[in-house]
């Protein structure tokens, strides 16, 4: 099968896993995360972990690819792509983070409650409604007190709103801007921009070249790309018309109940009544 694009879309389940979720490309994920993390938490070594911190029903979901990693100091990282608007997305992020915190509990009576830091990184292909007028496309959230001082520095949420990023390749100034540019525009590129000549991007572009994939990989990617486009088209264009109508359309198109919950935030009971 032939693709008009030269490079995969990293916002698809397959694309994100291929570029950031494979052991051979782990240095890509480390480089990206280190551009977002403060100096004391820079990563030297990273280990992929199983999603055991998630509820059982979440572990089998295919609507989102969720990376769960741990660095050499035991600090935890949840990295997630969110393709379309979802009600209570911030609640969902906090909900997932709590499982990572609880997982650190040591059985027995001698645990001193010392926790490793937990980072949740959300790469969003949508804009928070409440932040629509805010031009900032990276939001770093810490637990602070009434005087705006950090009360607890081991729980951090970092959200990147891709639609707000509008720099051209010629305007890129920092490494994190280069990473965000790649995440947003990779699938639209035919050649590697001059601004992205670092060794790490040489490896990324090589890993993203569709022509190098096996027939089986291209078929998996084609299905992943179709799902990405379908859910974006349905949710983004119909979101304002009401969640129930969106859910009806998704159900008619053959999406699973779990995927419809992912896209709309509706309960299983509400969807099953449609």
Q: Which has more pLDDT, 113 or 66?
A: 113
Question: What does the mean pLDDT of the chain come to?
Answer: 86
- Output the pTM of the full model: 0.81
Q: Which residue has the tokens 């932040």?
A: 131
pLDDT at residue 38, as a whole number: 84
Taking only the tens place, the pLDDT of each residue in 72-98 is 999 999 998 888 777 778 888 888 888
Taking only the tens place, the pLDDT of each residue in 190-212 is 999 999 999 999 999 999 999 99
Buried b (16+ CB within 10 A) or exposed e, 231-244: bbebbbebbeeebe
Residue 262 has pLDDT above 80, yes or no: no
Distance CA 23, CA 10 (A): 17
């Amino acid at each position: 099968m032939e693709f008009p694009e030269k490079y995969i879309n990293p916002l698809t389940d397959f694309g994100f896993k291929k570029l950031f979720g494979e052991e051979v490309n782990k240095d890509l994920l480390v480089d990206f995360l280190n551009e977002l993390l403060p100096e004391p938490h820079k990563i030297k070594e990273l280990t992929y972990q199983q999603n055991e911190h998630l509820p059982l029903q979440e572990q089998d979901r295919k609507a989102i690819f969720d990376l769960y990693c741990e660095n050499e100091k035991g600090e935890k990282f949840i990295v997630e792509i969110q393709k379309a608007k979802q009600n209570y997305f911030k609640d969902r992020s906090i909900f997932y983070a709590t499982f990572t915190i609880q997982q650190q509990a040591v059985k027995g009576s001698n645990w001193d409650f010392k926790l490793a830091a937990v980072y949740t990184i959300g790469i969003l292909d949508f804009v928070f409604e409440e932040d629509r007028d805010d031009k900032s496309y990276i939001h770093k959230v810490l637990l602070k007190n009434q005087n705006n001082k950090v009360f607890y520095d081991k729980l951090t949420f970092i959200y990147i709103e891709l639609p707000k990023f509008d720099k051209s390749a010629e305007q890129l100034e920092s490494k994190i801007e280069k990473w965000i540019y790649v995440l947003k525009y990779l699938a639209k590129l035919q050649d590697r921009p001059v601004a992205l000549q670092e060794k790490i991007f040489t490896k990324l572009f090589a890993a993203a070249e569709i022509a190098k994939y096996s027939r089986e990989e291209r078929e998996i990617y084609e299905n992943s790309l179709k799902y990405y486009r379908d859910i974006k088209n349905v949710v983004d264009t119909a979101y304002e018309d009401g969640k129930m109508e969106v859910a009806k359309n998704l159900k008619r198109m053959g999406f699973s109940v779990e995927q419809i919950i992912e896209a709309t935030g509706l309960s299983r009971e509400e969807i099953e009544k449609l």
